[in-house]
């Protein structure tokens, strides 16, 4: 695992000592683009927050390579459209937002911010209020905010959740390009793997409190997912989309059991979930 | 209007306006209006306690303010902050009701503390006001970047190691200090308008955080000066003009955005 940007070994995560997810092990090389895929409530957000150190690990080890820097894009931002914060202010906060006091204007700081604005294609709206931007534009701003310190790992929590179809494709392409160019390992969670298929070189699939990791070809197979879910699963490839189909009962009927894990769940997520794992009566 | 006896009033107004303008900007940014309503209101029973104990009213106000900050902060960390804030107000007011029932010396001062009495500011109290105001402004400005980061997404500040809980405490303390400065002048019921009104209008002036903050202070200064002048001319309470003017500022800010 030497040289990995992010390595997990036997990691268990959960709340109040109760594991939601355990035995998670995988490693990501610098520049790789990985999807953390699983139904709602499967522990994706908790795993990301544990890697960040916001939730203590219940077991195992997390190692960050390089300088040990992790960038983070949370699921949603809380600003309304009246807030006097421009997109470029949010990006600049990625540089020094933890420091006390008002930032002094500096040419170096401005150049770094401008460079990130160009890198994520935010030049057209950099001086607008960030609360006034579309969901896709806000994601670009938050990605720039997370990347400006040149982290070794970039974690994103459901960055596609509230985007329209075109923005979904654009954000995935942007992240895949940034992973290559900036040599940052990207790990993003999603409940539907399909938008990530063109770009993803690793997949971490979580369900039933466990995880399997590897390439898409290794993991997204009936035998592997059947073992994970503990039920018979078929993987269908239709019109370039992957459908994970469960026979009989519902393998991800557990999705609602851990509702506390996803405070930000939107109801429409469940609709998309239904497309992801199809139940055959 | 600028006679010698009015100079202390103008000085007090200046201190109140700068403090409320700066702290209010963070209140609006972080959506902490409820705490900015509760802390000034909760400090006024403190003055009752001080009268009863025979100590300086400002000491009572400071003590109750600190108690309010600790309660909102500690109760709000787990669970819903607005419930914690409302419960804090209830606890402080309940204590105040008890204290008021033990004394009858307080009626005139209650009225002054609820609605403000700018002409009653003494030269002796100016030093303490300036010190508390400077403390509130310093705390809020020190938290400029971490508080902004936390306003975008609470997790973001924590992920960057910005210690959001510590900054939240400092921010609440800044509100309490600003309340201690503003309550004797504008009144416990109306201080809220002076904190929230100018800041709401200031964010319409500019999309830049620092410029909007400066605009918020400038509007607070204009509002305070206008309120003192009108109060002098009409002999109506200054809190009346500050309260109505603050609400007007908010409406203007919303209309401009």
Chain A residues in contact with B146 (beta carbon < 8 A): 97-100
Residue B148 has its nearest CB partner, among A49, A53, A97, at A97
pLDDT at position B58 over 80: no
> Which of these three, A146, A166, A201, is where a domain ends?
A146
The whole-angstrom separation of Cα A152 and Cα A215 is: 21
- Indicate whether A140 and A156 sit together in one domain: no
Cβ atoms within 10 A of the Cβ of B208, count?
16
Give which of B138, B153, B154 to mutate to test A binding, by max A Cβ within 10 Å.
B153
At B89 the three-state DSSP class reads helix
In whole angstroms, what is the distance from residue B88 CA to residue B86 CA? 5
A contacts of B253 (beta carbons < 8 Å)? 82
Phi and psi (nearest 5°) for B227? -65, -40
In a shared domain, residues A170 and A41: yes
Q: Which helix (H) or strand (E) holds A153?
A: strand A153-156
Assess B161–A contact: CB distance below 8 Å, yes or no. Answer: yes
Q: What is the pLDDT of residue A248?
A: 62
Structure token digits, residue B93:
């007011």
For A148-266, where are the alpha helices, taking DSSP H only? 165-182, 216-219, 222-229
pTM of this prediction?
0.86
Q: Do B152 and A99 touch (CB under 8 A)?
A: no
Burial of B123 (0-12, 13-18, 19+ CB in 10 A): exposed
Same-domain status, A47 and A155 = yes
Question: What's the rounded Cα separation, in Å, for the pair B175 and B62?
Answer: 11
Structural domains in chain A (count): 2
Whether A34 is covered by a domain: the verdict is yes
Spatial contact of A31 and A185, defined as CB atoms under 8 Å apart: yes
Q: Are residues A139 and A126 in the same domain?
A: yes
Q: CATH number for the B4-256 domain, one of 1.10.3470.10, 3.30.70.60, 3.40.50.1220, 3.90.550.10?
A: 1.10.3470.10
User: Residue B106's pLDDT is what?
Assistant: 62
Contact between B160 and A101 using a beta-carbon 8 Å cutoff: no
CB B146 within 8 A of CB A97: yes
- Interface contact flag, B257 A128, Cβ < 8 Å: no
Contact at CB, A100 and B210, closer than 8 angstroms: no
Where a domain ends, among A97, A123, A146? Answer: A146
Q: Considering the domain boundaries, does residue A1 fall inside one?
A: no
- A95 and A199, same domain (yes or no): no
Q: Does residue B97 surpass a pLDDT of 50?
A: yes
The average pLDDT across B73-91 equals 85
Higher pLDDT, B162 or A36: A36
Contact state of B146 with A103 under an 8 Å Cβ cutoff: no
Same domain, A229 and A179: yes
**Structure ipTM:** 0.88
Q: Are A27 and A78 in contact (CB under 8 A)?
A: no
Residue A68, classed as helix, strand or coil, is: coil
Residues 6 or more apart whose Cβ sits within 8 Å of residue A209? A19, A20, A21, A22, A43
What is the token pair recorded at A134? 């579309």
Strand A210-214 to strand A202-207: parallel, antiparallel, or no bridges (unpaired)? antiparallel
Candidates B105, B118, B152; CA nearest to B14 is B118
**Using 50, 70 and 90 to split pLDDT, how confident is the model at B19?**
very high
pLDDT at B254 over 70: yes
Q: Is A204 helix (H, G, I), strand (E, B) or coil?
A: strand
The bridge status of strand A18-28 relative to strand A6-15 is: antiparallel
Q: What average pLDDT does the segment A155-167 reach?
A: 91
> A276 and A216, same structural domain?
yes
Q: How far off is chain B from A97, nearest CA to CA, in Å?
A: 5
Q: Identify the residue among B25, B29, B146, B152 best suited for mutation to test binding to A, counting A beta carbons within 10 A and taking the highest.
A: B152
Helix (H, G, I), strand (E, B) or coil at B32: coil
Percent of chain B with pLDDT over 90: 44
Closest among B59, B50, B179, B65 to B116, alpha carbons compared: B179
pLDDT band at A257 (very low <50, low <70, confident <90, very high): very low
**Domain closes at, from A146, A165, A197:** A146
Cβ-based neighbours of A2, under 8 Å, separated by 6 or more: none
Which chain A residues have any C-beta within 8 angstroms of a chain B C-beta? 49, 52-54, 70, 72, 74, 76-79, 81-86, 89-90, 93, 96-103, 127-130, 145
Question: Which residues in B lie closer than 8 A to residue A50 (C-beta atoms)?
Answer: none
Q: Give the chain A residue whose CA is nearest to the CA of B206.
A: A84
Cα of B140 vs its chain's centroid, Å: 12
Confidence grade of residue A245 (pLDDT, cut at 50, 70, 90) = confident
Co-location of A58 and A181 in the same domain: yes
**How many C-beta atoms lie closer than 10 Å to residue B20's C-beta?**
37
> What residue of A is the nearest CA neighbor of B139?
A101
The three-class DSSP label of residue B88 is: helix
Residue in the structure block whose two tokens are 């970047």: B145
The range of the structural domain enclosing residue A54 comes to 6-69+150-280
A260 and A215 co-located in one domain: yes
Residues A189, A273, single domain; the answer is yes
For chain B, the average pLDDT equals 88
B48/B109 Cα distance (integer angstroms): 9
Domain ranges in chain B are: 4-256
| pLDDT at position B115 over 60 | yes
Query: Alpha-carbon distance B135 to B195, whole Å?
Result: 16
| pLDDT band at residue A2 under the 50/70/90 scheme | low
Rounded to 5 degrees, what are φ and ψ at A206? -115, 140
> Positive or negative, the Cα torsion across A115, A149, A6, A167?
negative
Are A106 and A179 in a shared domain? no
In percent, how much of chain A has pLDDT > 90?
Answer: 67
Chain centre distance of CA A65: 18
Does residue A179 share a domain with residue A135?
no
Q: How far is CA B86 from the centre of its chain?
A: 17
CA distance A194 to chain B (A): 28
Q: What are phi and psi of B239, to 5 degrees?
A: -60, -30
User: Residue A38 maps to which CATH number?
Assistant: 3.40.50.300
Q: For residue A48, give Cα distances in angstroms to A37, A158, A228, B25.
A: 12, 11, 20, 33
Asked if the model's pLDDT at residue A279 lies above 50, the reply is: no
Chain A contact set for B254 (CB, 8 A)? 82
- A149 pLDDT exceeds 80? yes
Q: Rounded distance, CA A256 to CA B182, Å?
A: 50
Q: What is the mean pLDDT of residues A112-121?
A: 95
Measured CA to CA, the distance from residue B18 to residue A261 in angstroms comes to 43
pLDDT in tens, B128-145: 899 999 999 999 999 999
């Amino acid at each position: 695992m030497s040289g990995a940007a992010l390595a997990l070994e036997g990691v268990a995560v959960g709340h109040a000592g109760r594991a939601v997810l355990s035995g998670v092990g995988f490693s990501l090389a610098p520049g790789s683009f990985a999807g953390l895929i699983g139904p709602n409530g499967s522990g994706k957000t908790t795993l990301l927050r544990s890697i960040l150190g916001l939730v203590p690990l219940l077991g195992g080890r997390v190692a960050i390579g390089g300088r040990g820097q992790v960038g983070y894009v949370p699921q949603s931002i809380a600003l309304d459209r009246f807030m006097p914060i421009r997109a470029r202010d949010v990006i600049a906060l990625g540089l020094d937002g933890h420091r006390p006091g008002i930032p002094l204007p500096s040419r170096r700081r401005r150049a770094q911010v401008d460079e990130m604005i160009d890198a994520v294609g935010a030049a057209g709206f950099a001086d607008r209020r960030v609360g006034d931007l579309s969901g896709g534009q806000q994601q670009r701003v938050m990605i720039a905010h997370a990347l400006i310190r040149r982290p070794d790992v970039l974690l994103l929590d459901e960055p596609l959740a509230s985007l329209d179809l075109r923005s979904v494709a654009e954000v995935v392409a942007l992240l895949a390009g940034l992973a290559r160019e900036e040599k940052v390992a990207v790990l993003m969670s999603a409940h539907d793997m399909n938008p990530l298929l063109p770009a993803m070189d690793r997949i971490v699939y979580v369900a039933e409190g466990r995880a399997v990791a590897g390439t898409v070809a290794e993991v997204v197979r009936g035998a592997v997912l059947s073992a994970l879910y503990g039920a018979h699963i078929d993987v269908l490839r239709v019109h370039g989309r992957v459908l994970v189909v469960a026979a009989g009962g519902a393998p991800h009927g557990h999705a609602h059991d851990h509702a506390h894990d996803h405070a930000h769940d939107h109801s429409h997520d469940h609709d998309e979930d239904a497309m992801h794992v199809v139940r055959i009566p | 209007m600028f006679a010698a006896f009015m100079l202390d009033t103008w000085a007090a107004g200046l201190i109140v306006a700068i403090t409320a303008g700066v702290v209010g900007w963070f209140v609006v940014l972080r959506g902490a209006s409820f705490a900015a309503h509760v802390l000034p209101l909760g400090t006024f029973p403190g003055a009752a306690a001080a009268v009863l104990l025979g100590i300086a009213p400002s000491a009572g106000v400071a003590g109750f303010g600190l108690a309010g900050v600790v309660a909102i902060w500690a109760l709000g960390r787990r669970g819903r902050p607005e419930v914690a804030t409302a419960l804090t107000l209830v606890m402080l007011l309940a204590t105040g009701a008890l204290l008021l029932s033990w004394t009858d010396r307080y009626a005139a001062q209650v009225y002054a503390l609820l609605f403000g009495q700018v002409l009653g500011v003494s030269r002796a109290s100016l030093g303490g006001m300036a010190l508390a105001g400077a403390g509130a402004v310093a705390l809020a400005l020190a938290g400029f970047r971490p508080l902004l980061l936390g306003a975008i997404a609470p997790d973001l500040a924590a992920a960057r190691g910005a210690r959001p809980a510590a900054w939240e405490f400092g921010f609440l303390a800044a509100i309490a200090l600003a309340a201690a400065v503003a309550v004797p002048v504008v009144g416990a019921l109306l201080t809220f308008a002076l904190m929230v009104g100018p800041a709401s209008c200031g964010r319409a002036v500019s999309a830049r955080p620092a410029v909007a903050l400066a605009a918020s202070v400038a509007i607070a200064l204009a509002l305070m000066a206008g309120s003192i002048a009108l109060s002098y001319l009409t002999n109506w309470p200054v809190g009346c003009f500050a309260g109505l003017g603050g609400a007007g500022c908010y409406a203007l800010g919303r209309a401009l955005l």
